[in-house]
Amino acid sequence: MRGGGIFAIFTAALLASCTYLPMDVGPTSGVTTTESREAIVLRPSAGSAGVTGLIFYPGALVDPHAYVAELSGVAAAGIPVVIAKVTGNLAVLSIDAGLALRGSVSGVVQWVIGGHSLGGAMAAWSVYNHPEAYIGLVFLAAYPSTSTSLAAWPHPVLSLSASNDGLATPQKESDSAPLLPGPQQTVADIGAYRAITGSPLTVFHQIAGGDHAQFGSYGAQDGDGGATITPAEQHAEVVTFITTFFQANGW
């Protein structure tokens, strides 16, 4: 009986550790992709790349290739992107993986870090541990934990959420606002973002009709709310906001 219990626990642990594979990796036109054991690097294949790059942590148990399609749009706009491959696809096991990746793209001299879901929370934790290592932070359906408050961090933050997110719910996002630097501003659309006249350190935007899983490309996720917009529409909105975030900060 005891042996059966151990086997059941072992089997449940194995099933719970299964990674979501990507549903759609391409297209990656306009982008040069290189891959190593530690990361996937996306660079613009035409024109000059910027000197500010984006290091990105995937969500929990999501294959890093599930973000290639979306973040290729960011890279094609001239922003080098490094998608970290974290241990066991759990960023909590590689919180500071981004530090070693900062030398992975020649010509990039400063880095913004970001992540989806648990990856975003761990990116915030890495910023909390090494506040001088990064000059900006991007959250996709993510927020810092109460023990890693970034309220006093003097750099810009972009927080993108989705109205139909069943995991990082709008309520959780709103509750976490005091953990992010101020002044803060919420924008309804990209036009409102571009029209900002002040200098808010944290900008919030909620994607109407989006859900948690569509911040990547890995199909439906247990517990999610269900999107009413297509993955391509959600990805396009993410890309537009991230590239505008870089432009607005002179990167």
Partner 1 sequence: MRRCAFSLLFGLAVAFSCGASDWSFALASGVCPQLGAAYNGSFDFGLSGGALEILGQAERSLFAAEIGIESGASPIGWQVLFPVRGGIRWGAGSLHGLILAETSPGLSLTRPVLFMIGLGALARVDWDVSSDFGLYLSVGARWTLCPAYASFTGAGYQSVDIPVSLGVRWVLAR
Residues that bind partner 1 (CB under 8 A): 2-3, 6, 14-15, 17-22, 25-26, 35-38, 40, 61, 63, 65, 68, 85, 87-89, 93
Q: Shortest distance, CB of residue 150 to partner 1, whole angstroms?
A: 29
Give CA–CA dist 176/156, Å, rounded: 16
Token digits for 25? 């990796």
Token digits for 49? 């790349």
> What residues contact 27, with CB distance under 8 A and at least 6 apart?
69, 72
- The distance from CA 206 to its chain's CA centroid, rounded to whole angstroms, is 14
Considering the complex, state which of residue 156 and residue 231 has its C-beta at the smaller distance from partner 1: 231
Considering the complex, state which of residue 15 and residue 152 has its C-beta at the smaller distance from partner 1: 15
Q: Shortest distance, CB of residue 93 to partner 1, whole angstroms?
A: 8
Token digits for 113? 């870090």
Q: Shortest distance, CB of residue 122 to partner 1, whole angstroms?
A: 16
Considering the complex, state which of residue 16 and residue 152 has its C-beta at the smaller distance from partner 1: 16
Q: Shortest distance, CB of residue 99 to partner 1, whole angstroms?
A: 14
Token digits for 145? 């934990």
Considering the complex, state which of residue 10 and residue 107 has its C-beta at the smaller distance from partner 1: 10
CA-derived radius of gyration, the chain: 18
